Amino acid sequence: MNEFRYTGYAQEIIFAPGSIARLGDAIERHSWRRLMLCSTGSLRRDGTIASIEKVLGDRLVTIFEHVQPHVPDIQVTEALAIADKHDIDAIIALGGGSPIGLAKALSLALEEKRSGRSTRSTSPIDQPLVPIIAIPTTYAGSEMTPVNGVTHHSDGISRKITVSDSKIVPKLVIYDPSLTLNLPPTLTASTGINALAHCIEALYSITRNPVSTATAISATRSITSALPRCYSVPNDIEARTEMLIGAYLAGTALANVSMALHHGICHVLGGTAGVPHGIANSIILPHAMRFNLDATASELAPAAEVMGISLAGRSPEDAVAEAIQRIHTLIADMHLPQRLRDVGVQEADLPQLAQLAFQNRTVQNNPKPITDTAQLETLLRAAW
């Protein structure tokens, strides 16, 4: 890694158990007056939305609380009409990657509507017209990144299309581990494996840099230590705190590098086959790591080491093979699905999914070249 390019983004991060109580002050400090909240029903049911309504009073001018997974384009259109009508000046995204994704798409769409032109940013110092405040309650990490995926439907196929734009990086992120205490075990496990996958693909990314590598190694240590504890004792606030720090660091690594085979396949499985993102991650991660093993063992060896695997007297490939087996066992121990057939993917659909994955830009950024659709179909069949 003698050459690299690194982009830093202007963000304020507030991390503490109970930090949601600081939301009102932070919003006052930033002078936001007309806010829209994007979230999901589970956060209404557990009282989190009500607590935000109480803190913000009439500064919260509208709430869109039925965000669906994978950011369908129809929801972006619907949210745009509401945001426009209420003349909002900032968006709060509360929840997982889906509300944060909708907020990102909405910010871009609103700016285009208000300025009357396409406003894709080319410089990290460009600032958004309608900034995003993210309050993540899963471990997916979107709050740290300039990337967003929206699912479009055409020619009878749904496809998730990702864009990268520095203006959609949330300007304020409030990490409050107490908001994750109600995250059910399966979502804890699956979004936690998503965070681990960010670390793995950041470590072997073709655009890795010293910051992404350092954050990915540190995050791997936190996640592999805390995730099993969060799964087995959901209200262990210490484990939840360590896990959320891991997710933050994993998101930081993700923000600055291109992802690869694993993430590209997961986007196809989510956008086209409708597999929940964390579940797709749990099924694909060991397969993608095995596929890449011979080309990436040196880069992944530090991750194996922080998982407690000794590197002494053995090849990096051998140590990383043990790490893959441990990750596979962790996924099994948390009772996550491990086969595509168990999450509604039909065997007959595998050739088309492989074809879409082959065309995927993220897949083509894999450190080990993907030269043939057959490589992807073989991987998908192994995962089926």
Determine the 3-state secondary structure of 95 from DSSP. Answer: strand
| Amino acid identity, position 86 | H
Nearer to ligand NAD, 186 or 355 (CB): 186
Distance in Å, CB of 348 to ligand NAD, minimum: 25
Nearer to ligand NAD, 281 or 375 (CB): 281
Nearer to ligand NAD, 321 or 353 (CB): 353
Distance in Å, CB of 355 to ligand NAD, minimum: 20
Distance in Å, CB of 265 to ligand NAD, minimum: 12
Nearer to ligand NAD, 202 or 320 (CB): 202
Residues 276, 68 contacting (CB under 8 angstroms) = no
How big is the CA angle at 232 (ends 226 and 235), to the nearest 5 degrees? 80
Distance in Å, CB of 331 to ligand NAD, minimum: 15
Nearer to ligand NAD, 96 or 246 (CB): 96
Q: What residues make contact with ligand NAD under the rule CB under 6 A?
A: 40, 42, 69-71, 95-98, 101, 137-138, 140-142, 145, 147-149, 179-180, 182-184, 187, 191, 194, 254, 270, 277-278
Distance in Å, CB of 2 to ligand NAD, minimum: 27
Of 298, 181, 331, 290, the residue nearest 243 (C-alpha): 181
Ranked by CB distance to ligand NAD, the top (closest) residue is: 97
Distance in Å, CB of 361 to ligand NAD, minimum: 14
Backbone dihedral region of 87: left (phi > 0), alpha (psi from -120 to 50 degrees) or beta?
left
Whole-angstrom Cα Rg for the chain: 20
Give dist(CA 274, CA 158) in Å, integer.
9
Q: Which helix (H) or strand (E) holds 129?
A: none
Number of Cα atoms under 13 Å in the Cβ half of residue 271: 27
Nearer to ligand NAD, 78 or 322 (CB): 78
Task: Classify each residue of 48-72 as buried b or exposed e, where b means 16 or more C-beta atoms within 10 Å of its C-beta.
Answer: bbeebeebbeeebbebbbebebbbb
